[in-house]
Structure 1
Amino acid sequence: MTQLHHLDAVDQAAALQSREVSSVELVQHHLDRIVHHADALGAFITVTAELALERAAEADRCLAAGDAATFTGVPTAFKDLTFTAATPTSMGSRVMRGFVPPANAYVVDLVEKAGFISLGKTNTPEFGLSSYTDNDLIGPARTPWDTSRNAGGSSGGAAAAVAAGLVPLAQGSDGGGSIRIPASACGIFGFKPSRGRVSAGPLGSDWSGLAGDGPLARSVRDAAALLDAIAHPMPGDVRPLPAPPVPYAEWVGRPPGRLRIARWSATHLEGIAPGPDAIAAWESASALLESLGHDVVDIANPFPQALEPQFNVIWSSGIAGALIPPESDRLLRPNTRYWRERGRPASAVELSQALQFLELTTRQVVTDLQAYDAILTPTLALPPQPVEWFNESGDPAEDHHRELLFTPYTALYNMSGQPAASLPLHWSAEGLPIGVMLAGLPGQDGPLFSLCAQVEAAAPWHDRRPPGFA
């Protein structure tokens, strides 16, 4: 018999609608898995079992009355950077321990409107600053494929939870790769939407244009369904994209046609190159795309190295401007203090120049890429790394350098605003997941879903589960 946690969210919703299982049973099953695997994975900072079961009982009443939304009663989770009015939101920091936001993030309201039930808040690094997940609250999130290795960040807890079957899908956020990095490290599908596709309201801000919410899932159709739920602008959004005229769930069923796909593996950073596992995954994906009838064309990486220092001005200015009381600085992790110290000297002129440089430079890159329908690169340059690897030196500058060695590709699409996805198409000889990244042109999220679904159908990954978490 199929285990409940083997079903993706679409199949769980169908089982609930047909009354094969109740929401209380489904939610309790996943809560039991969270408890059983909590120590091994570090996936959740907060578990809201009582509230989830109350909502599951209400979901069952709605299902029985025929008054249910598409995903009524299906479990999920929110990243602990995402404001939830009824639940503490620590942002992975001791400074924020016990903080309960005054309102939900709009994305939370939309996910709940679709019928999903949150089981809690997933682990994240302090203020989401790192490409790995670790903090002083509960420690690291670990990939279920090898629990001695980090799950990636900053949506590491969400990715670990999905990969281990603690929830079928989860919300993540991505300002420099924070959905795609842990998706690769945990062997699942992660999708960063186009800039402006998902609202940051009502209390959040996308002032830099880098960050946005998106889905982490085991199937492309689940990711599309979650994005359908949250891709709705809120009044007052600074750079909204309209709600898509065609649901992403429909794009999943559309053949993409014959596409022209650019590929490169060289990074834009001098002295940083992909490892052999990343190259093997990229070459294998290239061959698969060609076998599907696509034209795969080698081009040079069009993003210049000059983007990196300007990105760092924006990144550090954001955390330097965070409203953290000076007396709380001592509670921050060294990595957080490092970025705040880098950002404090930046003037308004320097920040303005950095923002304009990113916009002008990536606009030209996107213009030059108009001849292509999609882009293929590695997701990460390295496999999932041991939990101590990033900060074992004790030097935050070395920590940052190792993050660049690990993830030199993902932040480029945050700068350009393009949609991008990590697909779990390859595993190393040691059994570690190695993702590849497909990106589309800005605003072309639907066609990218169509291509990803075609690739998934040709090389399915849904039934590949980490040993010990099946």
Structure 2
Amino acid sequence: MNRLSRRAMLAGSTATLALAACAPRTSKDEPAAVVAPELMDGTAMAAAIAAGETTAREQVEAAIARAQAVEPQINGIVTETYESARSDASGLLTGAFAGVPSFIKDLIDWRGAPTLAGSRGLEGHVATGDNVFASKWRRAGIVSLGKSATPEAGLISSTEPLSNGPTRNSWDVSRIPGGSSGGAAALVAARVVPFAHASDGGGSIRIPASTCGLFGLKPSRDRLPYSEPGAAAPPIQISVNHAVTISVRDSIALFRAAEANDGTYPLLGDVQPLTRRLRIGFAPEPIGGTPLHADTRAAIEDVAQLCRELGHTVVDYTLPMDGQKFMDSFILYWASGAAMFAQEVAVFSGKPVGPEIVEPWTLGLAGLAMARMGEIPDAIAHLQAFEAQYAAFFDSLDVILTPVTGSPAIPVGEQAPDRDFDTVMDSVLTFVAYTAPMNAAGAASMSVPLAWSPSGLPIGAMFSARKGDDGLLFELALELEAARPWANRKPVVTAI
């Protein structure tokens, strides 16, 4: 899930990858016909474009063809910007990913495209400029094909906005792809593009990565830009921008391309597969006391065993925290964001807050915040104090290993935003059982696609580290990717 950057929205690698041969080159104005589109990772695609083995226009046309092939089944795109993508691809592009096609999550501005945040109340909002993070991707030469689907304001762990209908998981279309970066993950999993923009305010990179069999790292707070310059800082900045990817090396290169470079952290150095052995705390129990699905338990225990086989020390660990108190505080803070969003949509639309402009789930959260407004300062104080508490987890550990979610992907409709509020809340608390602490702490955390259920659903493993230890996680991810490659595992619905 992701907490919306409202002010900005309203103001304006490995050898295991299928590095397929590109279509024969033609002129920029006449891209090659795409008969059997294949997909490289973004790093390889950018290199092929730079070497003149293909063109940006050819790669954009191939990606559009892939999108058109699978979109009727997954419904991951809110707005298509194919003509502007063709124009961009035909122009002069520079940067680490010059000419590589992708999608921007429909919570941030991309100049000239609508920003609807999954909300019917924002119809007509078109961005006049780029979000601060989006500007990094534009400078990297990335070509946006459009906006990917998100639940309203990114407020829930399933992507089923009433404005666009449910996005479906390409591994099983009866299941959700997760949220709030569900459209991004569905499109990458179906091999439409090698990576897509995602954001994470409570698990929104890691949850869709887990349910869709992708790699997804949530950066440490302030490693990559999020808030617009001059914007008032929230009490706790829980949200971050980054991506969901097929390869780890794409995630690393995208991280480098978007680094804030403001002196808060040193820039990411050379990243190679991890060589030193880690002390890993294995903590499979959900923080809020909800049940853990048997398939997820088996999967995470298998990953713990993989880490042992790689020589890491894996120790049983229980997070020393009051999980129920934490989740209550986090949900209340989350609900206060929903209340702010509802008010700002009312201002934009000129209509009163109500079901005509915002969804029942958003209204329910807003109502919760209003009913418990006097408790919000204490909730914020608890979450602010948690950052130091989280840091102490690593006095004797390098990394913590947990599941990402309480179960594999749940059925479409279970978290539909127009269902009974309390019923949906129970589902959310059971499903989103691990990810929020890292948002409150501002810490680095990643979902790695290392296991699948007996029925074929991906189950991500979450490795979390100290704030600022993004590089360590990338090194571990490269080691895990080499030990148990995933890039050639393709879902039922795939464009290649």
TM-score (norm 1): 0.92
Aligned twin of 2:73: 40
Higher relative contact order (CA 8 A, sep 6+): 2
- Which residue, out of 320, 326, 339, partners 1:320? 339
Once the two structures are superposed, the pairs formed by residues 53-132 of structure 1 within 5 Å of their partners are 53-59=86-92, 68-132=94-158
- The alpha carbon displacement at 1:4 in A equals 5.5
Distance 1:354 1:161 in 2: 36
1:386 aligns with 2:411: yes
1:426 and 2:459 equivalent?
A: no
1:448 aligns with 2:473: yes
Q: Tell me how far apart the structure 2 counterparts of residues 255 and 394 of structure 1 sit (CA, whole Å).
A: 45
Shift of 1:442: 0.8
What residue ranges of structure 1 are gaps of 5+ in the alignment?
A: 63-67, 235-239
Any residues of structure 2 matched to 1:17-28 within 5 Å, and which?
A: 17-28=50-61
CA positional deviation for 1:393: 8.6
What value does the CA root-mean-square deviation take over the aligned residues? 1.8
Q: Which amino acid aligns with 2:287?
A: H
1:226 aligns with 2:262: no
Q: Deviations over 1:289-341 (max 9, x none)?
A: 11111101111122312111111221111121221325252222110110111
Question: For the residues of structure 1 that align with 2:328 and 2:493, how far apart are their CA atoms?
Answer: 42
- Relative to structure 1, the CA distance from residue 40 to residue 346 in structure 2 (aligned partners, 3 Å threshold; closer, same or farther) is same
Query: Does residue 16 of the first structure (1) align with residue 49 of the second (2)?
Result: yes
Contact 1:193 1:212 in 2 (8 A): yes
Q: Counterpart of 1:227 in structure 2: which amino acid?
A: F
Q: Do 1:85 and 1:103's aligned partners in 2 also have CA atoms closer than 8 Å?
A: yes
Do residues 275 (structure 1) and 293 (structure 2) align?
yes
2:197 pairs, out of 167, 171, 179, with 171
Per-residue deviation, residues 69-117 of structure 1 (Å, max 9, x unmatched): 2211011111000122310010000001221134311111001101111
Deviations 1:130-149 (A, max 9, x none): 10001122211111101111
Structure 1 segment 185-204 matched on structure 2, within 5 A:
185-202=211-228
Counterpart for residue 215 of structure 1? 243
Write the letter of the residue equivalent to 2:216.
G
1:457 equivalent in alignment to 2:464:
no
Equivalent position of 2:12 in the other structure: none
State how far apart, in whole Å, the 2-side matches of 1:4 and 1:275 are: 37
Match of 1:370 among 374, 395, 415: 395
Report how far residue 459 of structure 1 moved: 0.3
Please state whether the residue corresponding to 1:142 is helix, strand or coil: coil
**Matched-pair contact (CA < 8 Å) for 2:386–2:440:** no
Q: Which amino acid aligns with 1:34?
A: A
Find the aligned partners of 2:405 and 2:38 in 1 and give their Cα distance.
28
Cα distance in 2 for residues equivalent to 1:392 and 1:119: 27
Match of 1:291 in 2: 309
9-18 or 194-203: which moved more?
Answer: 194-203
1:325-364 deviation digits (Å, cap 9, x = unpaired): 25252222110110111112444x6333212111213412
Q: Which residue of 2 aligns with 1:241?
A: 264
| Structure-2 residue corresponding to 1:181 | 207
Amino acid at match of 1:324: V
Q: 1:65 maps to which residue? A: none
Give the 3-state SS of the residue equivalent to 2:104 in structure 1.
strand
Cα distance change of structure 1 residues 139 and 413 upon mapping to structure 2, 3 Å threshold: same
Q: Give 1:354's match in structure 2, choosing from 362, 372, 379.
A: 379
Q: Are 1:151 and 2:151 counterparts?
A: no
Aligned residue type for 2:303: A
Q: Judging changes above 3 Å, is the alpha-carbon distance between structure 1 residues 393 and 318 closer, same or farther for their aligned structure 2 residues? A: closer
Tell me how far apart the structure 1 counterparts of residues 133 and 355 of structure 2 sit (CA, whole Å). Answer: 32
Counterpart in 1 of 2:5? none
CA distance, structure 1, for counterparts of residue 128 and residue 372 of structure 2 = 31
Distance in 2 between residues matched to 1:312 and 1:405, nearest whole Å: 13
Are the aligned partners of 1:76 and 1:117 in contact in 2 as well (CA < 8 Å)? Answer: yes
Deviation, structure 1 residue 205: 6.2
CA distance in 2, matches of 1:339, 1:205: 23
2: CA distance, partners of 1:233 / 1:342: 38
Distance 1:91 1:425, change over 3 A: same
- CA distance in 2 between partners of 1:467 and 1:319 (Å): 35
Distance in 1, matches of 2:66 and 2:233, equals 35
* Counterparts of 1:206 and 1:103, CA distance in 2: 21
1:7-65 CA-partner distances (Å, limit 9, x unpaired): 10011011111111111110010011112211101111001000000011114xx5xxx
Unmatched runs of 5 consecutive residues or more in structure 2: 1-19, 22-35
AA aligned opposite 1:267: P
Conserved in 2, the CA contact under 8 Å of 1:421 and 1:437?
yes
- 2:279 aligned with 1:260: yes
CA gap 1:277/1:55 in 2 versus in 1, 3 angstroms: same
Structure 1 residue 159: deviation in Å?
A: 0.5
> C-alpha separation between the residues in 1 aligned to 2:38 and 2:422?
41
Please state how far the C-alpha of 1:210 moved relative to its aligned partner.
1.1
- Aligned-pair identity in percent equals 35
Aligned to 1:398: 423
Conserved 8 A contact 1:45-1:123: yes
Matched, 1:301 2:319: yes
